[in-house]
Structure 1
């Protein structure tokens, strides 16, 4: 992960944690999706984003999200360095193996050397 990408990941996670503390579950989850896209090729950031998605799912009493994140957490631990579907936002509302378009602002951060 390059430095701008690392900083953007940290900022998205910090904002997601703040939204979580304020019980703004939808905003927290949207920020976690951004963090997931930025961090999915590194194990610790990838796992961190899924862990927080699980926490949001639990708070929303969203059984589908909780189940989805419980499956995605071990996959993130094992596969982050080998293969990830780039651009995938990480929520249980999308296939865990489906690549997705990357938002322009995130793509620019990820392409910076």
Structure 2
């Protein structure tokens, strides 16, 4: 079993950029675009406990800000368990992390994100 701890340095700028664009789009009122970047950050960071947990916290806060009870309720178990699953390497790769998708279902990784992993030398 592979134990994951911290995000590789090659992924950090892409993860941070996704979160920054999320914040910019949210502040501009572009909720759909904001959410897409939050999902991207989730896919990039889901293997690593700290980043995985941080994204689920952001998703929970997003749900609170837009008053989406479904997202709030859906994010609570993801927030509690996501980092643990990352630590032991048991995450559904490509899963965008929102409450609108099954939490354990893997998804195909988006082409742009796959390119990020390739640039960073990360095999999926």
Q: TM-score, normalised by structure 1?
A: 0.91
Gaps of 5+ in 2: 1-6
Superposed CA deviations along residues 9-58 of structure 1, whole A, max 9, x for unmatched, are: 11001111222333332222111000000000011111111111111111
Superposed CA deviations along residues 59-89 of structure 1, whole A, max 9, x for unmatched, are: 2211111101111001112111211000000
* Structure having the higher Rg: 2
Q: Give structure 1 regions of 4+ aligned residues with deviation exceeding 6 angstroms.
A: none
1:110 aligns to what? 117
* Richer in helix (by share): 1
- Cα distance between partner residues in 1 of 2:30 and 2:62: 9
- Cα distance between partner residues in 1 of 2:9 and 2:111: 18
Matches within 5 A, 1:66-81: 66-81=72-87
Gaps of 5+ in 1: none
Match of 1:20 among 4, 26, 33: 26
Q: TM-score, normalised by structure 2?
A: 0.83
Match of 2:14 among 2, 8, 15: 8
CA contact (8 A) 2:48 2:83 kept: no
Q: Tell me how many residue pairs correspond in the alignment.
A: 113
